[in-house]
Amino acid sequence: MKALSLKRLNKVYAGGVVALRDVDLEVDEGEFFGLLGPNGAGKSTIIGIVSSLVRKTCGSAEVFGHPVDREPWEAKSVLGLVPQEFNFNGFETVNQIILNQAGFYGINRRTAHERAERYLSELGLWSRRNSVSRTLSGGMKRRLMIARALIHQPRLLILDEPSAGVDIEVRRSMWTFLRRINTEGTTIILSTHYLEEAESLCRNIAIIDRGQIIENTDVRSLLRQLTAQSFLLDIQGDLAEVPVIEDFHLMPVDDSCLEVEVRSDQSLNELFARLAERNVQVVSMKNKSNRLEELFVRMLERPAEERRKPEQIETTT
Protein backbone atom coordinates (compact mmCIF):
# COMPACT_ATOMS: atom_id res chain seq x y z
CA MET A 1 0.00 0.00 0.00
CA LYS A 2 1.30 3.43 -0.94
CA ALA A 3 0.98 5.96 1.85
CA LEU A 4 1.61 8.74 -0.65
CA SER A 5 1.49 8.70 -4.41
CA LEU A 6 2.20 11.76 -6.56
CA LYS A 7 1.88 11.46 -10.32
CA ARG A 8 2.95 14.14 -12.78
CA LEU A 9 2.22 16.75 -10.14
CA ASN A 10 2.59 20.32 -11.33
CA LYS A 11 2.15 23.64 -9.62
CA VAL A 12 2.37 27.05 -11.20
CA TYR A 13 1.71 29.92 -8.79
CA ALA A 14 -0.05 33.12 -9.76
CA GLY A 15 2.49 35.25 -11.59
CA GLY A 16 3.85 32.24 -13.46
CA VAL A 17 6.31 30.91 -10.87
CA VAL A 18 6.71 27.20 -11.60
CA ALA A 19 7.05 25.41 -8.26
CA LEU A 20 6.66 21.78 -9.35
CA ARG A 21 7.30 20.11 -12.70
CA ASP A 22 5.93 16.62 -13.30
CA VAL A 23 6.77 15.34 -9.85
CA ASP A 24 6.40 11.57 -9.46
CA LEU A 25 6.89 10.23 -5.97
CA GLU A 26 5.73 7.18 -4.04
CA VAL A 27 6.14 6.48 -0.36
CA ASP A 28 5.36 3.01 0.98
CA GLU A 29 3.31 2.46 4.10
CA GLY A 30 5.52 2.22 7.19
CA GLU A 31 8.39 4.20 5.64
CA PHE A 32 10.45 6.89 7.30
CA PHE A 33 11.00 8.98 4.20
CA GLY A 34 13.15 12.06 3.78
CA LEU A 35 12.29 14.91 1.43
CA LEU A 36 15.35 17.06 0.92
CA GLY A 37 16.05 20.11 -1.14
CA PRO A 38 17.29 23.68 -0.93
CA ASN A 39 15.05 26.60 -0.06
CA GLY A 40 12.47 27.21 -2.77
CA ALA A 41 12.96 23.75 -4.28
CA GLY A 42 9.29 22.81 -3.93
CA LYS A 43 9.22 20.73 -0.71
CA SER A 44 6.66 22.91 1.06
CA THR A 45 4.55 23.10 -2.12
CA ILE A 46 4.36 19.30 -2.22
CA ILE A 47 3.43 19.21 1.46
CA GLY A 48 0.90 22.00 0.89
CA ILE A 49 -0.80 20.14 -1.96
CA VAL A 50 -0.94 16.88 0.00
CA SER A 51 -2.46 18.66 3.00
CA SER A 52 -4.89 20.68 0.81
CA LEU A 53 -3.42 24.07 1.68
CA VAL A 54 -2.13 24.54 -1.86
CA ARG A 55 -4.11 23.83 -5.04
CA LYS A 56 -2.32 21.76 -7.63
CA THR A 57 -2.22 22.94 -11.23
CA CYS A 58 -2.41 19.40 -12.65
CA GLY A 59 -1.43 15.84 -11.85
CA SER A 60 -2.59 13.71 -8.97
CA ALA A 61 -1.86 13.38 -5.26
CA GLU A 62 -3.21 10.45 -3.29
CA VAL A 63 -2.97 9.61 0.40
CA PHE A 64 -3.50 5.90 1.03
CA GLY A 65 -5.26 5.67 -2.32
CA HIS A 66 -7.57 8.65 -1.73
CA PRO A 67 -7.15 11.59 -4.15
CA VAL A 68 -6.78 14.72 -2.01
CA ASP A 69 -8.96 16.77 -4.35
CA ARG A 70 -11.79 14.30 -4.98
CA GLU A 71 -11.89 12.44 -1.66
CA PRO A 72 -10.64 15.08 0.78
CA TRP A 73 -12.50 13.71 3.78
CA GLU A 74 -10.85 10.29 3.52
CA ALA A 75 -7.42 11.69 2.62
CA LYS A 76 -7.38 14.28 5.40
CA SER A 77 -8.65 11.85 8.03
CA VAL A 78 -5.45 9.78 7.85
CA LEU A 79 -3.00 12.66 7.47
CA GLY A 80 -1.19 14.59 10.20
CA LEU A 81 0.81 17.72 9.45
CA VAL A 82 3.54 19.47 11.41
CA PRO A 83 4.11 22.67 9.44
CA GLN A 84 7.30 24.65 9.26
CA GLU A 85 5.81 27.82 10.77
CA PHE A 86 4.06 28.01 14.12
CA ASN A 87 0.38 28.09 13.23
CA PHE A 88 -1.55 27.76 16.44
CA ASN A 89 -3.55 30.36 18.30
CA GLY A 90 -1.10 32.12 20.60
CA PHE A 91 -3.90 33.06 22.99
CA GLU A 92 -5.09 29.51 23.63
CA THR A 93 -3.58 27.11 26.15
CA VAL A 94 -1.69 24.00 25.12
CA ASN A 95 -4.62 21.83 26.19
CA GLN A 96 -7.19 23.92 24.30
CA ILE A 97 -5.15 23.69 21.10
CA ILE A 98 -4.86 19.91 21.37
CA LEU A 99 -8.50 19.35 22.32
CA ASN A 100 -9.77 21.65 19.56
CA GLN A 101 -7.69 19.80 17.01
CA ALA A 102 -9.17 16.52 18.24
CA GLY A 103 -12.61 18.05 17.76
CA PHE A 104 -11.86 19.04 14.14
CA TYR A 105 -11.18 15.36 13.48
CA GLY A 106 -14.39 14.20 15.17
CA ILE A 107 -12.76 12.71 18.26
CA ASN A 108 -15.01 12.70 21.31
CA ARG A 109 -14.00 14.68 24.37
CA ARG A 110 -13.10 11.71 26.58
CA THR A 111 -10.79 10.10 24.01
CA ALA A 112 -9.31 13.50 23.24
CA HIS A 113 -8.42 14.04 26.91
CA GLU A 114 -6.81 10.60 27.14
CA ARG A 115 -4.74 11.14 24.01
CA ALA A 116 -3.81 14.68 25.00
CA GLU A 117 -2.39 13.39 28.28
CA ARG A 118 -0.51 10.63 26.46
CA TYR A 119 1.10 12.75 23.75
CA LEU A 120 1.76 15.80 25.88
CA SER A 121 3.41 13.57 28.49
CA GLU A 122 5.51 11.75 25.91
CA LEU A 123 6.64 15.04 24.44
CA GLY A 124 7.37 16.60 27.82
CA LEU A 125 4.56 19.17 27.73
CA TRP A 126 2.05 17.79 30.21
CA SER A 127 3.22 20.11 33.00
CA ARG A 128 2.66 23.06 30.63
CA ARG A 129 -0.81 21.99 29.49
CA ASN A 130 -2.47 25.04 31.03
CA SER A 131 0.12 27.50 29.75
CA VAL A 132 -0.87 29.96 27.06
CA SER A 133 0.91 28.74 23.93
CA ARG A 134 2.69 31.99 23.13
CA THR A 135 4.62 31.70 26.41
CA LEU A 136 6.27 28.41 25.37
CA SER A 137 9.88 28.19 24.22
CA GLY A 138 10.65 27.47 20.55
CA GLY A 139 11.35 23.80 21.26
CA MET A 140 8.12 23.42 23.21
CA LYS A 141 6.16 25.02 20.39
CA ARG A 142 7.63 22.48 17.95
CA ARG A 143 6.68 19.63 20.26
CA LEU A 144 3.21 21.08 20.69
CA MET A 145 2.73 20.97 16.92
CA ILE A 146 3.84 17.33 16.87
CA ALA A 147 1.39 16.44 19.65
CA ARG A 148 -1.36 18.32 17.80
CA ALA A 149 -0.63 16.46 14.56
CA LEU A 150 -0.79 13.10 16.34
CA ILE A 151 -4.01 13.63 18.29
CA HIS A 152 -6.11 11.84 15.64
CA GLN A 153 -3.47 9.10 15.30
CA PRO A 154 -2.79 9.63 11.58
CA ARG A 155 -1.45 6.84 9.40
CA LEU A 156 0.76 9.34 7.58
CA LEU A 157 2.62 12.08 9.45
CA ILE A 158 4.33 14.84 7.49
CA LEU A 159 6.89 16.99 9.28
CA ASP A 160 8.14 20.13 7.57
CA GLU A 161 11.44 21.20 9.17
CA PRO A 162 10.50 20.00 12.68
CA SER A 163 13.96 20.65 14.14
CA ALA A 164 14.32 24.26 13.02
CA GLY A 165 15.47 26.35 15.96
CA VAL A 166 15.49 23.41 18.36
CA ASP A 167 18.49 22.68 20.59
CA ILE A 168 20.36 19.41 20.18
CA GLU A 169 18.97 17.76 23.31
CA VAL A 170 15.36 18.38 22.29
CA ARG A 171 16.19 17.36 18.73
CA ARG A 172 17.61 14.02 19.86
CA SER A 173 14.59 13.28 22.06
CA MET A 174 12.34 14.24 19.16
CA TRP A 175 14.20 11.78 16.93
CA THR A 176 13.75 9.00 19.50
CA PHE A 177 10.04 9.76 19.70
CA LEU A 178 9.61 9.83 15.92
CA ARG A 179 11.52 6.57 15.50
CA ARG A 180 9.20 4.95 18.02
CA ILE A 181 5.94 6.05 16.42
CA ASN A 182 7.35 4.96 13.05
CA THR A 183 8.11 1.55 14.52
CA GLU A 184 4.53 1.45 15.83
CA GLY A 185 3.25 1.82 12.27
CA THR A 186 2.97 5.52 11.43
CA THR A 187 4.41 6.38 8.04
CA ILE A 188 6.58 9.49 8.33
CA ILE A 189 7.67 11.96 5.68
CA LEU A 190 10.34 14.32 6.93
CA SER A 191 11.33 17.48 5.15
CA THR A 192 14.51 18.81 6.67
CA HIS A 193 17.56 20.95 6.12
CA TYR A 194 19.50 18.95 8.71
CA LEU A 195 20.99 16.21 6.57
CA GLU A 196 22.41 14.53 9.64
CA GLU A 197 18.77 14.17 10.70
CA ALA A 198 17.79 12.61 7.37
CA GLU A 199 20.77 10.25 7.42
CA SER A 200 20.00 9.21 10.97
CA LEU A 201 16.23 8.73 10.61
CA CYS A 202 15.28 8.01 7.01
CA ARG A 203 15.55 4.78 5.09
CA ASN A 204 14.69 6.37 1.76
CA ILE A 205 15.02 9.90 0.55
CA ALA A 206 14.05 12.05 -2.40
CA ILE A 207 16.01 15.15 -3.34
CA ILE A 208 14.07 17.90 -5.02
CA ASP A 209 15.54 20.91 -6.76
CA ARG A 210 13.83 23.59 -8.81
CA GLY A 211 10.55 21.70 -8.72
CA GLN A 212 11.93 18.37 -9.94
CA ILE A 213 12.88 15.17 -8.15
CA ILE A 214 16.55 14.70 -8.97
CA GLU A 215 17.17 11.65 -6.80
CA ASN A 216 14.89 9.10 -5.17
CA THR A 217 16.59 6.17 -3.54
CA ASP A 218 17.53 4.57 -0.23
CA VAL A 219 20.11 6.31 1.91
CA ARG A 220 22.63 3.44 1.73
CA SER A 221 22.61 3.39 -2.09
CA LEU A 222 22.95 7.12 -2.16
CA LEU A 223 25.93 7.10 0.18
CA ARG A 224 27.55 4.39 -1.93
CA GLN A 225 27.79 7.02 -4.64
CA LEU A 226 30.52 8.60 -2.57
CA THR A 227 33.84 7.54 -4.10
CA ALA A 228 35.96 9.25 -1.46
CA GLN A 229 35.69 10.63 2.04
CA SER A 230 37.73 13.22 3.87
CA PHE A 231 38.77 12.62 7.47
CA LEU A 232 40.34 14.81 10.11
CA LEU A 233 43.06 13.03 12.10
CA ASP A 234 44.17 14.32 15.49
CA ILE A 235 47.86 13.53 15.91
CA GLN A 236 49.73 12.91 19.17
CA GLY A 237 52.20 15.74 19.65
CA ASP A 238 53.09 18.39 17.10
CA LEU A 239 53.93 17.58 13.51
CA ALA A 240 57.40 18.64 12.40
CA GLU A 241 56.43 18.14 8.79
CA VAL A 242 53.54 16.64 6.85
CA PRO A 243 54.27 12.97 6.13
CA VAL A 244 54.24 11.97 2.47
CA ILE A 245 52.46 8.66 1.86
CA GLU A 246 51.99 7.21 -1.59
CA ASP A 247 48.35 7.14 -2.81
CA PHE A 248 47.10 9.21 0.16
CA HIS A 249 46.78 12.97 -0.04
CA LEU A 250 47.54 14.48 3.36
CA MET A 251 47.13 18.15 4.18
CA PRO A 252 47.90 19.95 7.44
CA VAL A 253 45.00 21.62 9.23
CA ASP A 254 47.13 22.82 12.15
CA ASP A 255 50.16 21.59 14.12
CA SER A 256 48.38 18.50 15.43
CA CYS A 257 45.69 17.82 12.86
CA LEU A 258 45.78 16.36 9.37
CA GLU A 259 43.15 16.14 6.68
CA VAL A 260 43.28 13.05 4.49
CA GLU A 261 41.21 11.93 1.53
CA VAL A 262 40.48 8.22 1.42
CA ARG A 263 39.01 6.64 -1.72
CA SER A 264 36.48 3.85 -1.41
CA ASP A 265 39.06 1.35 -2.73
CA GLN A 266 41.56 2.32 -0.02
CA SER A 267 41.81 1.05 3.53
CA LEU A 268 42.06 3.11 6.68
CA ASN A 269 44.10 0.31 8.27
CA GLU A 270 46.70 0.74 5.55
CA LEU A 271 46.81 4.48 6.18
CA PHE A 272 47.24 4.02 9.93
CA ALA A 273 49.99 1.41 9.37
CA ARG A 274 51.91 3.73 7.09
CA LEU A 275 51.53 6.64 9.50
CA ALA A 276 52.78 4.41 12.35
CA GLU A 277 55.83 3.51 10.26
CA ARG A 278 56.58 7.23 10.24
CA ASN A 279 56.04 7.50 14.02
CA VAL A 280 52.79 9.43 13.58
CA GLN A 281 50.21 8.30 16.15
CA VAL A 282 46.55 9.04 15.46
CA VAL A 283 44.61 9.68 18.69
CA SER A 284 41.18 10.37 17.17
CA MET A 285 39.47 10.67 13.83
CA LYS A 286 36.24 12.13 12.47
CA ASN A 287 34.56 12.78 9.13
CA LYS A 288 35.30 16.26 7.85
CA SER A 289 31.57 16.87 7.28
CA ASN A 290 28.31 14.95 7.10
CA ARG A 291 28.45 12.53 4.19
CA LEU A 292 24.93 13.10 2.98
CA GLU A 293 25.36 16.83 3.24
CA GLU A 294 28.42 16.79 0.99
CA LEU A 295 26.69 14.50 -1.50
CA PHE A 296 23.63 16.74 -1.45
CA VAL A 297 25.65 19.83 -2.23
CA ARG A 298 27.48 18.03 -5.03
CA MET A 299 24.22 16.87 -6.59
CA LEU A 300 22.76 20.33 -6.58
CA GLU A 301 25.91 21.69 -8.20
CA ARG A 302 25.55 19.32 -11.18
CA PRO A 303 24.07 20.81 -14.36
CA ALA A 304 20.36 20.07 -14.71
CA GLU A 305 20.81 17.73 -17.70
CA GLU A 306 23.17 15.48 -15.72
CA ARG A 307 21.08 15.20 -12.58
CA ARG A 308 19.08 12.15 -13.52
CA LYS A 309 22.13 10.16 -14.68
CA PRO A 310 23.02 7.39 -12.22
CA GLU A 311 26.69 8.23 -12.24
CA GLN A 312 29.24 8.01 -9.47
CA ILE A 313 29.90 11.30 -7.78
CA GLU A 314 33.40 12.33 -6.93
CA THR A 315 33.46 14.08 -3.64
CA THR A 316 35.98 15.23 -1.10
CA THR A 317 34.00 13.83 1.78
Partner 1 sequence: MRGNAVHPGYARQTLIALRTIAWKETHRYLRIWLQTLLPPAITMTLYFVIFGNLIGPRIGPMAGHSYMEFIVPGIIMMSVITNSYMNVVSSFFGAKFQRHIEEILVSPTPNYTILIGYLAGGVGRGLLTGLIVTFISMLFTDIQIQHPAITISVAFLTALLFSLGGFLNGIFARKFDDIAIVPTFILTPLTYLGGVFYSIDLLPGVWREFSLVNPILYMVNAFRYGFLGESDIPIQTAYAIIVIFIVFSVCLSLYLLRRGVGLRT
In the complex, minimum distance from the CB of residue 299 to partner 1, in angstroms, rounded to a whole number:
28
Q: Quickly count helices (H) and strands (E) in the chain.
A: 10, 14
Q: Which of 104, 172, 237, 308 binds partner 1 (CB under 8 A)?
A: 104
Instruction: Return the number of the residue (83 or 139) whose C-beta is nearest partner 1.
Output: 83
Q: Which of 40, 65, 103, 165 binds partner 1 (CB under 8 A)?
A: 103
What is the DSSP code (8-state) at residue 127?
A: G
Instruction: Return the number of the residue (64 or 296) whose C-beta is nearest partner 1.
Output: 64
* Number of residues in contact with partner 1 under rule CB under 8 A: 33
In the complex, minimum distance from the CB of residue 2 to partner 1, in angstroms, rounded to a whole number:
18
Q: Which of 34, 83, 139, 162 binds partner 1 (CB under 8 A)?
A: 83
Instruction: Return the number of the residue (70 or 308) whose C-beta is nearest partner 1.
Output: 70
How many whole angstroms separate alpha carbon 64 and alpha carbon 55?
19
Instruction: Return the number of the residue (7 or 70) whose C-beta is nearest partner 1.
Output: 70
Residue 79 lies near partner 1 (rule: CB under 8 A): yes
In the complex, minimum distance from the CB of residue 75 to partner 1, in angstroms, rounded to a whole number:
8
How many whole angstroms separate alpha carbon 78 and alpha carbon 153?
8
CA distances from residue 305 to 39, 213, 222, 301, 302 in whole angstroms, order as listed: 21, 13, 19, 11, 8
Instruction: Return the number of the residue (54 or 228) whose C-beta is nearest partner 1.
Output: 54
How many whole angstroms separate alpha carbon 178 and alpha carbon 192?
14
Give the β-pairing of 58-63 and 2-12.
antiparallel
Rg of the Cα atoms in the chain: 23
Q: Which of 152, 38, 133 is nearest to 86 (CA)?
A: 133
Beta carbons within 8 Å of 282's beta carbon, 6+ residues apart = 233, 234, 235, 236, 272, 275
**DSSP3 helix / strand / coil % (the chain, rounded to 5):** 35, 30, 35
Evaluate the CA torsion angle 67, 69, 74, 75 in order and state its sign.
Answer: positive
In the complex, minimum distance from the CB of residue 152 to partner 1, in angstroms, rounded to a whole number:
8
Residue 130 lies near partner 1 (rule: CB under 8 A): no
> Which pairs with CB-CB distance under 8 Å and at least 24 residues apart come from 114-123?
115/150, 115/151, 115/153, 116/147, 116/151, 119/146, 119/147, 119/150, 119/151, 120/94, 120/95, 120/147, 122/177, 123/147, 123/177
Stretch that binds partner 1, among 46-54, 116-124, 160-168, 286-294 (CB under 8 A): 46-54
In the complex, minimum distance from the CB of residue 265 to partner 1, in angstroms, rounded to a whole number:
50
In the complex, minimum distance from the CB of residue 178 to partner 1, in angstroms, rounded to a whole number:
19
Instruction: Return the number of the residue (39 or 176) whose C-beta is nearest partner 1.
Output: 39
Q: Which of 89, 227, 264, 284 binds partner 1 (CB under 8 A)?
A: 89
In the complex, minimum distance from the CB of residue 105 to partner 1, in angstroms, rounded to a whole number:
5
Instruction: Return the number of the residue (65 or 252) whose C-beta is nearest partner 1.
Output: 65
**End-to-end alpha-carbon separation of the chain, Å?**
37
In residues, how long is the chain?
A: 317
Contact mark string toward partner 1, 55..74, x via CB under 8 A: x--------------xxxxx
Instruction: Return the number of the residue (89 or 135) whose C-beta is nearest partner 1.
Output: 89
Residue 48 lies near partner 1 (rule: CB under 8 A): yes
Backbone angles phi, psi at 267, to 5 degrees: -115, 140
Name the site residues for partner 1 (rule: CB under 8 A). Answer: 13-14, 48, 51-55, 70-74, 76-77, 79, 81, 83, 85, 87-90, 97, 100-101, 103-108, 148
